[in-house]
Copies of this chain bind each other. A is one copy, B any other.
Amino acid sequence: MLEDKNTPRTKLEELGEFGLIDHLTKNFEIKHKSTVKGIGDDAAILDYNQEKMVVTTDLLVEGVHFDLSYMPLKHLGYKAVMVNLSDVYAMNATAKQITVSIAVSNRFPLEALEEFYDGVATACKIYNVDLIGGDTTSSTKGMLISITALGAAVTEKITQRSGAKENDLLVVSGDLGGAYLGLQVLEREKEVFKVNPNNQPDLEPYSYIVERQLKPEARKDIIELLEKLDVTPTAMIDISDGLSSEILHICKASKVGCNLFEDKIPLDPTVISAAEEFKMDGTMIALSGGEDYELLFTVDQKDFPKIKANPNLTVIGHMTDKSNGQHLIARDGSQIPLKAQGWNSFEN
Protein backbone atom coordinates (compact mmCIF):
# COMPACT_ATOMS: atom_id res chain seq x y z
CA MET A 1 0.00 0.00 0.00
CA LEU A 2 2.95 2.28 0.53
CA GLU A 3 4.37 4.00 -2.50
CA ASP A 4 8.12 4.26 -2.85
CA LYS A 5 8.69 7.96 -3.40
CA ASN A 6 12.21 7.34 -4.64
CA THR A 7 11.31 5.45 -7.80
CA PRO A 8 12.19 7.38 -10.95
CA ARG A 9 9.34 9.21 -12.65
CA THR A 10 9.62 9.68 -16.40
CA LYS A 11 6.90 11.85 -17.87
CA LEU A 12 4.95 10.16 -20.66
CA GLU A 13 5.13 13.14 -23.02
CA GLU A 14 8.90 12.70 -23.15
CA LEU A 15 8.39 9.54 -25.21
CA GLY A 16 5.38 10.50 -27.29
CA GLU A 17 2.73 8.02 -28.33
CA PHE A 18 4.75 5.87 -30.74
CA GLY A 19 7.86 5.88 -28.57
CA LEU A 20 5.73 4.75 -25.64
CA ILE A 21 4.20 1.78 -27.44
CA ASP A 22 7.63 0.73 -28.76
CA HIS A 23 9.13 1.04 -25.31
CA LEU A 24 6.44 -0.88 -23.48
CA THR A 25 6.17 -3.74 -25.96
CA LYS A 26 9.77 -4.24 -27.10
CA ASN A 27 10.36 -7.31 -24.90
CA PHE A 28 7.24 -9.19 -25.92
CA GLU A 29 8.02 -12.21 -28.08
CA ILE A 30 5.72 -13.81 -30.63
CA LYS A 31 5.15 -17.46 -29.80
CA HIS A 32 2.31 -18.65 -32.03
CA LYS A 33 2.43 -19.64 -35.67
CA SER A 34 -1.05 -18.13 -35.97
CA THR A 35 0.42 -14.69 -35.20
CA VAL A 36 1.67 -13.75 -38.67
CA LYS A 37 2.34 -10.13 -37.71
CA GLY A 38 1.97 -8.58 -34.25
CA ILE A 39 2.46 -4.99 -33.17
CA GLY A 40 3.72 -2.41 -35.66
CA ASP A 41 1.20 -1.97 -38.45
CA ASP A 42 -2.36 -0.68 -38.80
CA ALA A 43 -3.56 -4.10 -37.69
CA ALA A 44 -2.15 -7.44 -36.61
CA ILE A 45 -2.35 -10.37 -39.04
CA LEU A 46 -3.53 -13.80 -37.88
CA ASP A 47 -3.80 -17.18 -39.54
CA TYR A 48 -6.28 -19.55 -37.89
CA ASN A 49 -6.44 -21.90 -40.84
CA GLN A 50 -8.91 -24.73 -40.10
CA GLU A 51 -9.63 -23.78 -36.50
CA LYS A 52 -12.46 -21.56 -35.36
CA MET A 53 -11.57 -18.36 -33.57
CA VAL A 54 -13.15 -17.01 -30.40
CA VAL A 55 -13.04 -13.29 -29.53
CA THR A 56 -13.82 -11.57 -26.25
CA THR A 57 -13.24 -8.10 -24.85
CA ASP A 58 -13.41 -6.32 -21.48
CA LEU A 59 -13.17 -2.72 -20.33
CA LEU A 60 -11.82 -2.01 -16.82
CA VAL A 61 -12.14 1.40 -15.19
CA GLU A 62 -10.19 2.67 -12.18
CA GLY A 63 -12.55 3.38 -9.29
CA VAL A 64 -15.16 0.99 -10.72
CA HIS A 65 -13.33 -2.27 -11.38
CA PHE A 66 -10.11 -1.76 -9.48
CA ASP A 67 -8.59 0.38 -6.73
CA LEU A 68 -4.92 1.25 -7.12
CA SER A 69 -4.58 1.97 -3.40
CA TYR A 70 -4.26 -1.77 -2.77
CA MET A 71 -3.87 -3.19 -6.27
CA PRO A 72 -0.21 -3.12 -7.35
CA LEU A 73 0.06 -2.20 -11.06
CA LYS A 74 1.88 -5.40 -11.93
CA HIS A 75 -0.95 -7.45 -10.43
CA LEU A 76 -3.46 -5.29 -12.26
CA GLY A 77 -1.78 -6.01 -15.60
CA TYR A 78 -1.81 -9.71 -14.80
CA LYS A 79 -5.42 -9.74 -13.62
CA ALA A 80 -6.69 -7.71 -16.58
CA VAL A 81 -5.29 -10.40 -18.88
CA MET A 82 -6.73 -13.19 -16.72
CA VAL A 83 -10.24 -11.73 -16.87
CA ASN A 84 -10.14 -12.00 -20.65
CA LEU A 85 -8.37 -15.35 -20.97
CA SER A 86 -10.97 -16.76 -18.60
CA ASP A 87 -13.65 -15.94 -21.20
CA VAL A 88 -11.66 -17.74 -23.90
CA TYR A 89 -11.27 -20.86 -21.73
CA ALA A 90 -15.00 -20.68 -20.98
CA MET A 91 -15.50 -21.47 -24.68
CA ASN A 92 -13.27 -24.55 -24.23
CA ALA A 93 -10.76 -22.84 -26.53
CA THR A 94 -7.02 -22.15 -26.26
CA ALA A 95 -6.08 -18.48 -25.79
CA LYS A 96 -3.62 -17.34 -28.47
CA GLN A 97 -3.44 -13.55 -28.74
CA ILE A 98 -4.39 -10.41 -26.85
CA THR A 99 -4.53 -6.69 -27.58
CA VAL A 100 -4.02 -4.35 -24.63
CA SER A 101 -5.14 -0.70 -24.68
CA ILE A 102 -4.66 1.67 -21.78
CA ALA A 103 -5.52 5.30 -21.13
CA VAL A 104 -3.85 7.06 -18.21
CA SER A 105 -3.93 10.56 -16.77
CA ASN A 106 -0.71 12.52 -16.39
CA ARG A 107 -0.35 11.45 -12.75
CA PHE A 108 1.08 8.17 -14.09
CA PRO A 109 4.79 8.20 -14.91
CA LEU A 110 6.33 5.84 -17.43
CA GLU A 111 7.50 3.57 -14.62
CA ALA A 112 3.90 2.90 -13.61
CA LEU A 113 3.06 1.74 -17.13
CA GLU A 114 6.19 -0.40 -17.19
CA GLU A 115 4.96 -2.15 -14.04
CA PHE A 116 1.56 -2.70 -15.61
CA TYR A 117 3.13 -4.16 -18.76
CA ASP A 118 5.36 -6.32 -16.59
CA GLY A 119 2.22 -7.97 -15.27
CA VAL A 120 0.85 -8.30 -18.82
CA ALA A 121 4.15 -9.88 -19.92
CA THR A 122 4.13 -12.36 -17.03
CA ALA A 123 0.58 -13.39 -17.91
CA CYS A 124 1.50 -13.75 -21.61
CA LYS A 125 4.47 -15.93 -20.71
CA ILE A 126 2.71 -18.22 -18.25
CA TYR A 127 -0.42 -18.59 -20.38
CA ASN A 128 1.46 -18.77 -23.69
CA VAL A 129 -0.29 -15.83 -25.32
CA ASP A 130 1.00 -13.27 -27.88
CA LEU A 131 0.49 -9.53 -27.40
CA ILE A 132 -0.42 -8.38 -30.92
CA GLY A 133 -1.60 -4.80 -30.60
CA GLY A 134 -3.29 -2.12 -28.60
CA ASP A 135 -3.49 1.57 -28.04
CA THR A 136 -1.87 3.85 -25.48
CA THR A 137 -3.45 7.21 -24.86
CA SER A 138 -4.16 9.78 -22.20
CA SER A 139 -7.27 10.05 -20.04
CA THR A 140 -8.71 13.04 -18.22
CA LYS A 141 -9.03 10.98 -15.04
CA GLY A 142 -7.55 7.75 -13.79
CA MET A 143 -6.65 4.60 -15.64
CA LEU A 144 -8.68 2.61 -18.15
CA ILE A 145 -7.82 -0.77 -19.56
CA SER A 146 -9.38 -2.45 -22.56
CA ILE A 147 -8.27 -5.94 -23.51
CA THR A 148 -9.41 -8.16 -26.36
CA ALA A 149 -8.46 -11.84 -26.29
CA LEU A 150 -8.47 -14.24 -29.23
CA GLY A 151 -8.39 -18.02 -29.06
CA ALA A 152 -8.76 -21.13 -31.18
CA ALA A 153 -10.56 -24.44 -31.04
CA VAL A 154 -11.81 -27.07 -33.43
CA THR A 155 -15.55 -26.81 -34.03
CA GLU A 156 -16.48 -29.96 -32.08
CA LYS A 157 -14.77 -28.70 -28.92
CA ILE A 158 -16.22 -25.19 -28.73
CA THR A 159 -18.59 -25.00 -25.78
CA GLN A 160 -21.30 -22.36 -25.67
CA ARG A 161 -23.68 -21.56 -22.83
CA SER A 162 -26.60 -22.97 -24.74
CA GLY A 163 -25.88 -26.72 -24.83
CA ALA A 164 -26.96 -27.90 -21.36
CA LYS A 165 -29.61 -30.66 -21.34
CA GLU A 166 -31.97 -31.98 -18.67
CA ASN A 167 -30.15 -34.42 -16.33
CA ASP A 168 -26.70 -33.04 -17.22
CA LEU A 169 -24.46 -32.66 -14.19
CA LEU A 170 -23.44 -29.18 -13.07
CA VAL A 171 -19.72 -28.98 -12.30
CA VAL A 172 -17.49 -26.24 -10.96
CA SER A 173 -13.69 -26.00 -10.84
CA GLY A 174 -11.71 -24.99 -7.74
CA ASP A 175 -13.49 -23.24 -4.89
CA LEU A 176 -15.67 -20.16 -4.62
CA GLY A 177 -16.03 -16.95 -2.64
CA GLY A 178 -12.33 -16.29 -2.01
CA ALA A 179 -11.94 -13.29 -4.34
CA TYR A 180 -14.90 -11.48 -2.79
CA LEU A 181 -13.71 -12.05 0.78
CA GLY A 182 -10.18 -11.03 -0.22
CA LEU A 183 -11.65 -7.74 -1.39
CA GLN A 184 -13.40 -7.29 1.98
CA VAL A 185 -10.09 -7.80 3.79
CA LEU A 186 -8.33 -5.27 1.53
CA GLU A 187 -11.13 -2.71 1.93
CA ARG A 188 -10.98 -3.10 5.70
CA GLU A 189 -7.20 -2.63 5.78
CA LYS A 190 -7.56 0.43 3.56
CA GLU A 191 -9.87 2.03 6.13
CA VAL A 192 -7.44 1.15 8.94
CA PHE A 193 -4.59 2.64 6.88
CA LYS A 194 -6.54 5.88 6.39
CA VAL A 195 -6.91 6.29 10.15
CA ASN A 196 -3.34 5.25 10.99
CA PRO A 197 -0.90 5.23 8.05
CA ASN A 198 1.81 3.73 10.24
CA ASN A 199 -0.20 0.61 10.91
CA GLN A 200 1.30 -2.32 9.01
CA PRO A 201 -1.47 -4.73 8.10
CA ASP A 202 -0.91 -8.41 8.78
CA LEU A 203 -2.44 -10.07 5.74
CA GLU A 204 -0.71 -13.42 6.33
CA PRO A 205 -3.81 -15.25 7.68
CA TYR A 206 -5.70 -14.05 4.61
CA SER A 207 -3.03 -14.75 2.00
CA TYR A 208 -5.14 -17.26 0.05
CA ILE A 209 -8.21 -15.05 -0.32
CA VAL A 210 -6.20 -11.86 -0.89
CA GLU A 211 -4.31 -13.62 -3.67
CA ARG A 212 -7.61 -14.81 -5.15
CA GLN A 213 -8.59 -11.12 -5.39
CA LEU A 214 -5.26 -9.60 -6.47
CA LYS A 215 -3.81 -12.35 -8.61
CA PRO A 216 -6.52 -14.66 -9.91
CA GLU A 217 -5.61 -17.40 -12.37
CA ALA A 218 -7.70 -18.22 -15.43
CA ARG A 219 -8.34 -21.98 -15.53
CA LYS A 220 -6.32 -22.96 -18.59
CA ASP A 221 -5.42 -26.12 -16.66
CA ILE A 222 -9.06 -27.16 -16.52
CA ILE A 223 -9.41 -26.92 -20.31
CA GLU A 224 -6.31 -29.09 -20.62
CA LEU A 225 -7.66 -31.47 -17.97
CA LEU A 226 -10.98 -31.85 -19.79
CA GLU A 227 -9.08 -32.62 -23.00
CA LYS A 228 -7.03 -35.24 -21.17
CA LEU A 229 -10.14 -36.76 -19.58
CA ASP A 230 -11.82 -36.76 -23.00
CA VAL A 231 -14.74 -34.72 -21.66
CA THR A 232 -16.42 -32.03 -23.77
CA PRO A 233 -18.82 -30.03 -21.60
CA THR A 234 -22.31 -29.49 -22.99
CA ALA A 235 -22.29 -25.85 -21.76
CA MET A 236 -19.71 -23.67 -20.03
CA ILE A 237 -19.27 -20.17 -18.57
CA ASP A 238 -16.67 -18.55 -16.35
CA ILE A 239 -17.60 -17.28 -12.90
CA SER A 240 -17.03 -13.55 -12.94
CA ASP A 241 -20.29 -12.35 -11.35
CA GLY A 242 -21.03 -15.10 -8.82
CA LEU A 243 -22.28 -18.68 -9.12
CA SER A 244 -25.97 -17.79 -9.06
CA SER A 245 -25.81 -15.33 -11.94
CA GLU A 246 -23.73 -17.73 -14.07
CA ILE A 247 -26.07 -20.67 -13.48
CA LEU A 248 -28.98 -18.50 -14.58
CA HIS A 249 -27.05 -17.54 -17.76
CA ILE A 250 -26.59 -21.21 -18.66
CA CYS A 251 -30.22 -22.04 -17.83
CA LYS A 252 -31.51 -19.13 -19.91
CA ALA A 253 -29.31 -19.91 -22.92
CA SER A 254 -29.94 -23.68 -22.68
CA LYS A 255 -33.64 -23.39 -21.78
CA VAL A 256 -33.33 -25.71 -18.76
CA GLY A 257 -33.90 -25.62 -15.01
CA CYS A 258 -31.38 -26.46 -12.29
CA ASN A 259 -31.06 -27.89 -8.80
CA LEU A 260 -27.96 -26.61 -7.03
CA PHE A 261 -27.04 -28.33 -3.74
CA GLU A 262 -25.82 -25.99 -1.02
CA ASP A 263 -23.78 -28.67 0.72
CA LYS A 264 -21.85 -29.38 -2.48
CA ILE A 265 -20.60 -25.82 -3.10
CA PRO A 266 -16.79 -25.97 -2.66
CA LEU A 267 -15.52 -23.47 -0.08
CA ASP A 268 -11.92 -23.22 1.07
CA PRO A 269 -11.46 -23.36 4.90
CA THR A 270 -9.99 -19.83 4.74
CA VAL A 271 -13.19 -18.67 3.05
CA ILE A 272 -15.34 -20.27 5.74
CA SER A 273 -13.37 -18.71 8.60
CA ALA A 274 -13.14 -15.27 6.95
CA ALA A 275 -16.87 -15.37 6.19
CA GLU A 276 -17.53 -16.00 9.88
CA GLU A 277 -15.23 -13.13 10.84
CA PHE A 278 -17.11 -10.77 8.52
CA LYS A 279 -20.43 -12.16 9.77
CA MET A 280 -21.36 -13.23 6.27
CA ASP A 281 -22.83 -16.47 4.97
CA GLY A 282 -20.35 -18.58 2.95
CA THR A 283 -23.04 -19.86 0.60
CA MET A 284 -24.29 -16.34 -0.14
CA ILE A 285 -20.74 -15.21 -0.91
CA ALA A 286 -20.21 -18.10 -3.33
CA LEU A 287 -23.56 -17.38 -4.99
CA SER A 288 -23.11 -13.62 -5.37
CA GLY A 289 -19.45 -12.79 -4.72
CA GLY A 290 -17.91 -12.89 -8.14
CA GLU A 291 -14.37 -12.53 -9.52
CA ASP A 292 -13.38 -16.12 -8.75
CA TYR A 293 -12.78 -16.88 -12.46
CA GLU A 294 -13.49 -20.55 -11.95
CA LEU A 295 -15.22 -22.47 -14.73
CA LEU A 296 -18.83 -23.64 -14.40
CA PHE A 297 -19.95 -26.29 -16.85
CA THR A 298 -22.41 -29.08 -17.51
CA VAL A 299 -21.56 -32.62 -18.62
CA ASP A 300 -23.58 -35.57 -19.77
CA GLN A 301 -24.14 -38.13 -16.97
CA LYS A 302 -22.17 -40.72 -18.95
CA ASP A 303 -19.05 -38.58 -18.32
CA PHE A 304 -19.48 -38.76 -14.53
CA PRO A 305 -16.97 -41.63 -14.06
CA LYS A 306 -14.31 -39.54 -15.87
CA ILE A 307 -14.60 -36.54 -13.56
CA LYS A 308 -15.78 -37.90 -10.21
CA ALA A 309 -12.41 -38.52 -8.58
CA ASN A 310 -10.80 -35.30 -9.69
CA PRO A 311 -9.86 -32.92 -6.85
CA ASN A 312 -10.16 -29.90 -9.20
CA LEU A 313 -13.78 -30.58 -10.08
CA THR A 314 -16.92 -30.69 -7.94
CA VAL A 315 -20.38 -31.80 -9.03
CA ILE A 316 -22.70 -29.25 -7.41
CA GLY A 317 -26.05 -30.03 -8.98
CA HIS A 318 -27.93 -31.15 -12.06
CA MET A 319 -30.01 -29.63 -14.79
CA THR A 320 -33.78 -30.15 -14.84
CA ASP A 321 -36.69 -29.44 -17.13
CA LYS A 322 -37.17 -25.72 -17.64
CA SER A 323 -40.57 -25.82 -15.92
CA ASN A 324 -38.91 -26.74 -12.61
CA GLY A 325 -37.07 -23.42 -12.49
CA GLN A 326 -33.69 -22.81 -10.89
CA HIS A 327 -33.29 -23.64 -7.22
CA LEU A 328 -30.79 -23.87 -4.44
CA ILE A 329 -31.47 -26.99 -2.39
CA ALA A 330 -30.46 -25.83 1.10
CA ARG A 331 -28.85 -28.04 3.73
CA ASP A 332 -32.26 -28.45 5.41
CA GLY A 333 -33.80 -29.66 2.15
CA SER A 334 -35.73 -26.45 1.45
CA GLN A 335 -35.83 -25.09 -2.10
CA ILE A 336 -34.80 -21.46 -2.59
CA PRO A 337 -35.19 -19.83 -6.03
CA LEU A 338 -31.84 -18.64 -7.45
CA LYS A 339 -31.56 -14.93 -8.15
CA ALA A 340 -28.96 -13.07 -10.16
CA GLN A 341 -27.31 -10.96 -7.50
CA GLY A 342 -24.15 -10.56 -9.51
CA TRP A 343 -22.32 -7.34 -9.48
CA ASN A 344 -24.04 -4.54 -11.40
CA SER A 345 -21.54 -1.84 -12.26
CA PHE A 346 -24.25 0.79 -12.73
CA GLU A 347 -25.44 0.51 -9.15
CA ASN A 348 -22.15 1.59 -7.64
Q: Which residues of chain A have a CB within 8 Å of any CB of chain B? A: 12-13, 15-18, 20, 36-37, 40-50, 52-59, 61-65, 86-88, 90-91, 93, 97, 99, 101-103, 106, 132-135, 137-142, 144, 146, 148-151, 158, 160-162, 236-238, 253, 340, 344-348
Q: Are B13 and A42 in contact (CB under 8 A)?
A: no
**A65 contacts across to B, CB distance below 8 A:** 137
Q: Are B138 and A61 in contact (CB under 8 A)?
A: yes
A144 to B44: give the CA distance in the assembly, Å: 23
A141 to B106: give the CA distance in the assembly, Å: 15
The residue on B at minimum CB distance from A37 is: B160
A132 to B151: give the CA distance in the assembly, Å: 15
A18 to B102: give the CA distance in the assembly, Å: 24
A340 to B347: give the CA distance in the assembly, Å: 45
- With A47-B52, A142-B140, A346-B13 already in contact, the answer to whether A253 and B40 are too (CB < 8 A) is yes
The residue on B at minimum CB distance from A11 is: B346
**A40 contacts across to B, CB distance below 8 A:** 161, 253
In the assembled complex, how far is the CB of residue A109 from the closest CB belonging to chain B, in whole angstroms? 11
**A50 contacts across to B, CB distance below 8 A:** 49
Q: Are A93 and B53 in contact (CB under 8 A)?
A: no
Q: Are B160 and A91 in contact (CB under 8 A)?
A: no
**A88 contacts across to B, CB distance below 8 A:** 42-43
In the assembled complex, how far is the CB of residue A294 from the closest CB belonging to chain B, in whole angstroms? 13
A65 to B139: give the CA distance in the assembly, Å: 9
Q: Are B106 and A43 in contact (CB under 8 A)?
A: no
Q: Are A63 and B103 in contact (CB under 8 A)?
A: no
Among A37, A56, A253, the one with the most B-chain Cβ atoms within 10 Å of its Cβ is: A56
- With A137-B64, A140-B141, A144-B103 already in contact, the answer to whether A160 and B41 are too (CB < 8 A) is yes
- Which A-B residue pairs are the 3 nearest by beta carbons? A146-B146, A43-B56, A42-B90
Q: Which residue from B18, B48, B91, B135 sits with its C-beta under 8 Å from A57?
A: B135
Q: Which residue from B13, B149, B345 sits with its C-beta under 8 Å from A137?
A: B345
A196 to B41: give the CA distance in the assembly, Å: 45
Q: Are A238 and B54 in contact (CB under 8 A)?
A: no
Q: Are B55 and A137 in contact (CB under 8 A)?
A: no
**A56 contacts across to B, CB distance below 8 A:** 42-44, 133
**A253 contacts across to B, CB distance below 8 A:** 40-41
**A90 contacts across to B, CB distance below 8 A:** 42-43
**A45 contacts across to B, CB distance below 8 A:** 52-54, 91, 158, 160
Q: Which residue from B49, B58, B149, B160 sits with its C-beta under 8 Å from A135?
A: B58
